[in-house]
Structure 1
Amino acid sequence: MGVDYYNLLKVNRSATDDDLKRAYKRLAMKWHPDKNPANKKEAEAKFKQISEAYDVLSDSQKRQIYDLYGEEGLKSFEFGGPGDEGKSSSKTTNNTTFRFNQRDADDIFNEFFGGSGGCGMGGGSGKSGFPRNGETGNQGNRKAASIESKLTCSLEELYNGARRKMRISRSVPDDFGKPKTVEEILKIDIKPGWKKGTKITFPEKGNQEPGVIPADLIFVVDEKPHPVFKRDGNDLVVNQKISLLEALTGKTVDLRTLDGRYLTIPVTDIIKPSHEIVILNEGMPISKEPHKKGKLRIKFDVTFPSRLTAEQKSDLKRVLGGADN
């Protein structure tokens, strides 16, 4: 009886070219061998049948002969038509010489989906758009330029680490090859110690277009200003204002750290302008050296009084007159 091409594509005998294209796209995406690694042999056979059915029915001359003589009759025309095997290499119908030539399944697939190079199914021409294990697919295609987006992080997130969820929208082909918009949640694990400018790359998460490798989506870390701390490499810097009296007599500095701890730092030395206290291992985590941190640097800004009374000046002269410079 031969193969029923109409049944293979799930279309009726009056199917238009558009009907055939839609049916082929849907079935080819479903049965391509590289999308069916668990039953690859069965998928390969099915994929070739679907491709052959589309090749015949989309060609008006082949389809006309197939409708008259069926699949066996169509292919026997290569030898001179039904009942004349071996007499001729071609058949003349309506003053037209016809020879049945079956097109390669991957060639047909690539016309729809734009695949190329080194990724084909076993025994085929190696041109499909799906990758084998260990291959990237899309070899030989142009890759779209990377898309960069800013990822603004608080200093607390960069100190402690955090997880961010980013919702993205992109265009991908549906089962019929038409573009559709899909949404996806990308998870970003912010590592303690990451710095401004750190890049997190999600390969090929851009829009999918025929013949183009999707762009990489890159998030670039940016640092949100903090009301207390300023980052300087791996160090944290705090600017602390103190009065002249405190600079001379001492002060206790209380700080809440970025991980919620409280530090009490007694200052007993006389503080001069631009004086700095350094506390080791209380700065930012060092991402490449676990369990190590930079320094906490406290810079003092001595606030002088705007005016003094005559009595205050006299007292200061009395108290400080004999002090060493």
Structure 2
Amino acid sequence: MGKDYYAVLGITKAATEDDIKKAYRKQALRFHPDKNKSPGAEDTFKEIAEAYDILSDPKKKDVYDRFGEEGLKGGGGSTGGGPGTFNYTFQGDPHAIFAEFFGGRNPFDQFFGSRNGGLHEEMNTDDPFAHVGMGGLGGLPRSFSSGMGGMGGYGGTSLTKRQDPPIVHDLHVTLEEVFSGCIKKMKISHQRLNPDRRTGRTEDKILEVEIKKGWKEGTKITFPKEGDETPTNIPADVVFVLKDKTHPVYRRDGADIIYPAKVCLRDALCGCTVSVPTLDSRTITVTTRDIVRPGMKRRITGEGLPLPKSPGCRGDLVVEFEVKFPERLSTSARETISQVLPPS
């Protein structure tokens, strides 16, 4: 007598396709080695996967129903009914089948507390989806309930895959880099599938991020599907978000740059000249004969950052005056100021 795969799943030969899926779900969760620590659980878990692999595939199931395990594995018949050439050997990964069935690259997040933990105490192993509120056919999520074919070697209709959420990284740039534009090379490591489409490998990749002139803080640069790839997911997009580095001289205000010019109280009252550096290493002289009040500004047109949509045009360089008041005054200085300055 060969193996009774129906008995392995706890069903009869009259079981429907939905019954087979429900039985696999129940048994796989019950005997998963991360939950069931009893001796032989790993072997039982593999046997459950093999039973599902056969009974969920119409061709394999037909041969098994007519000729039993011997016919399925080359010792009995074929799909034609005579001495057969059908030769089946289970070569699947039971853990991969488990992940594929539940439609997630890490089903433990959904059903188990952790890989080293166990099934949540409140979860019902007869109907684990009752706890997480999953809908769809046979307890499967609705997006995976249609098109579930046989899973021998991932045969049959493929499951609907969902793309992972974007992976977002901040990309810090200087004002000089925004002024001139540049290329940033960012090294990432991601998982890629081997040709067998089951096992994976880690690959390093250099992504070249083109920073265009005048780009604003918050600009997003997206590299589609550069996240980790698994048999059950669509890789996430990798997104870089521009962030301005703090500049030692300027502040940024859109396409304008602000230069704080500190002047003493005497110069503020009597007039002054300040030398203002530019982003392209020139110096512009700004002279005022007016009284400089705190917060007074002088705008130098066209000396700011390029405009993102019109890189040939530029914002302004804004000189923002800061008046430095003395810490103390001598008695004679007080008297002189009192005589010179009109009363308020």
Coarse TM-score class (shorter-chain normalised): 0.5 to 0.7
Deviations 1:22-76 (A, max 9, x none): xxxxxxxxxxxxxxxxxxxxxxxxxxxxxxxxxxxxx97476379xxxxxxx98x
Residues in 2 aligned to 1:193 and 1:60: alpha-carbon distance in whole angstroms: 72
Taking every aligned residue pair, what percent have the same amino acid on both sides? 36
Q: Equivalent of 1:171, from 191, 199, 207?
A: 191
Q: Which residue of 1 aligns with 2:74?
A: 64
1:161 aligns to what?
A: 181
| 3-state secondary structure, aligned to 2:312 | coil
**Could you tell me whether the CA contact under 8 Å between 2:303 and 2:314 is conserved in 1?**
yes
Q: Give 5+ residue unaligned stretches, structure 1.
A: 1-58, 67-73, 79-89, 102-110, 118-126, 130-137
Structure 1 residue 211 and structure 2 residue 232: aligned?
yes
Show the 5 A alignment for 1:99-248.
140-176=160-196, 177-248=198-269
Matched AA of 2:230 = E
Q: 1:298 aligns with which of 312, 319, 323?
A: 319
Q: Please report the RMSD computed on the Cα atoms of aligned residues, expressed in angstroms.
A: 3.7
Instruction: Give the superposition deviation at 1:258.
Output: 2.0
Residue 215 (structure 1) shift: 0.4
Size of the aligned set, in residue pairs, is 218
Q: Give, as a single letter, the amino acid of the residue that structure 1 aligns with 2:237.
A: D
- The amino acid across from 2:328 in the alignment is R
Secondary structure of 1:291's partner?
Answer: strand
Q: Structure 2: which 5+ runs fail to align?
A: 1-68, 88-96, 101-143, 147-155
The whole-number CA distance in structure 2 between the counterparts of 1:259 and 1:206 is: 38
Deviation at 1:128, TM superposition (A): 9.0
Task: Describe the SS at the equivalent of 2:310.
Answer: coil
The answer to whether residue 261 in structure 2 is matched with residue 251 in structure 1 is no
- 1:308 corresponds in structure 2 to 329
Output the amino acid matched with 2:211.
Answer: I
Residue deviations 1:131-156, cap 9 Å, x none? xxxxxxx9x42111111111111122
Structure 2 vs 1, CA of residues 60 and 210 (structure 1 numbering), >3 Å: closer, same or farther? farther
The one-letter code sitting in structure 2 at the alignment partner of 1:169 is S
Query: Within 2, Cα distance between the matches of 1:194 and 1:308?
Result: 48
- Cα deviation code 1:168-226 (max 9, x no counterpart): 00111223432110100000011111122111100000000112110001111111111
**Who is 2:305 aligned against?**
284
What whole-Å deviation, never above 9, does each CA across 1:64-100 have from its counterpart, x for those lacking one?
Answer: 379xxxxxxx98x83xxxxxxxxxxx32x5xxxx697
Task: Compare CA radii of gyration and give the structure with the larger one.
Answer: 1
How far apart, CA to CA, are the structure 2 residues paired with 1:236 and 1:185?
A: 32
**How far did residue 283 of structure 1 move?**
1.7
| Partner deviation per Cα, 1:231-278 (whole Å, 9 max, x = no partner) | 112211122211111112222221222222222222232212221111
TM-score by length of structure 1 reads: 0.57
Alpha-carbon distance in 1 for matches of 2:75, 2:280: 79
User: What is aligned with 1:134?
Assistant: none
Contact 2:213 2:311 in 1 (8 A): no
CA distance in 2, matches of 1:290, 1:234: 11
Partner of 1:107: none
Q: In structure 1, what residue type is equivalent to 2:249?
A: V
TM-score w.r.t. length of structure 2: 0.54
Show CA shifts across 1:86-124 (max 9, x none). xxxx32x5xxxx6979xxxxxxxxx9xx8x99xxxxxxx
Say whether residues 1:261 and 2:282 are aligned partners.
yes
